[in-house]
Each structure stands twice: as structure tokens, then as C-alpha cells.
Chain A
């Protein structure tokens, strides 16, 4: 089965950049998406097709992919960005990474 690996947690100070990675075999040959989920809420799509932002998502969210690793970068992280972040791709179905808990402190 196909797996996506994310770091379980990441802490950043307000105003710093947060970089969350997602690794999977030949992930660069697929499309990666990223979702933000705050406690008690449904996930929200923040990046699709590796690097595109849906309308309404702030410009500080960006995505990239290189080789086997997709990266979500939040520039100028704000307190409101504190959430769990999940990467997602397709391989014989929908695959989610294990999630990264981003703490802004």
C-alpha cells in the first residue's frame, strides 16, 4: 500500500515561516493537495495540484514538490494558522498523510 509520511509536529514563532513536508514514493509523479483542519472543524483545502491556491486562501500559503517530497510553506505564520495539516494524493484510491500539528507560539 502507498504511504505518505509527515512530521507529527512543528512549532514556529509568529511571523516565522513554517515548512511542512510530505514524503511518498514517486510523489512527484502524482498531484499533492494540502488540507488545514482546526479542532472541531472539517478540513479545508489550502493547496491543490502541488502548488495552486483555491480562492479565498491567503497568499502566505504556498506549495511545491520535488522528487518524492511535497512541501507546504506558510510565510509569516499567524496564530490563526495553528492547526493540523494533512497532505493527500491518489494511488489506487485517496491517500492521506498522518498529519502535522502546527503550533504557533
Chain B
């Protein structure tokens, strides 16, 4: 099925460990996004990639890095995990640059990350 695929679905880390969250989309979308979702705060943008080869910081980028590996894949890395990064992480994609830039985003099912 077409869509956005995130791996893993669940992960528990110890403080200081590193980890990469993977995201892939098969809709040929140009733009990809990483959000975190915390109770009562909606979705907050961490990083985004408007097109292949570009990445930009969002609202809450500290403690994270990203890589737009190719048009399909956009990964999020935690170099030294902290308890404050316990959250649900969502990847999204959008037609984006060159297309209808106000088109909605399509979301994956999330990665639930706990940092002890």
C-alpha cells in the first residue's frame, strides 16, 4: 500500500544512547517532515526537507539531526538520547516544491520512543 512507513514502531533507550529513526515514502513526494507529539501539545516540527538534498530546522531541532538519503527516505537521529526526548515521533510527506505547496501532509503511524 502506498504511504509513509516508519521503523521501528517502538523503542526503549537508555540516556546517552544513540538511535536513528527511519522513514520512507512511496508517493514520489518532494517534501518530508519529522514531528514529535507530546500530550496536550499537538505536533511540533523538528526538521524538514523541502526537497531532496535540502534540510532545515523546524520549531524544536535541538538534540536531533536528519539526513535526506534520497527522495524516498528521511531519517532522524538522536546522537545522545535524553529523557526529555521521550515522545511519539511522526514522519510526514507532502507534494511540496514544484507542486501544490498548500497540499496536505501524509503521516506515518509513528515511532514510540521511551528514554530511561
The judgment on whether A and B are partners is no
Listed in ascending order, the chain B residues whose CB lies under 8 Å from chain A are: none
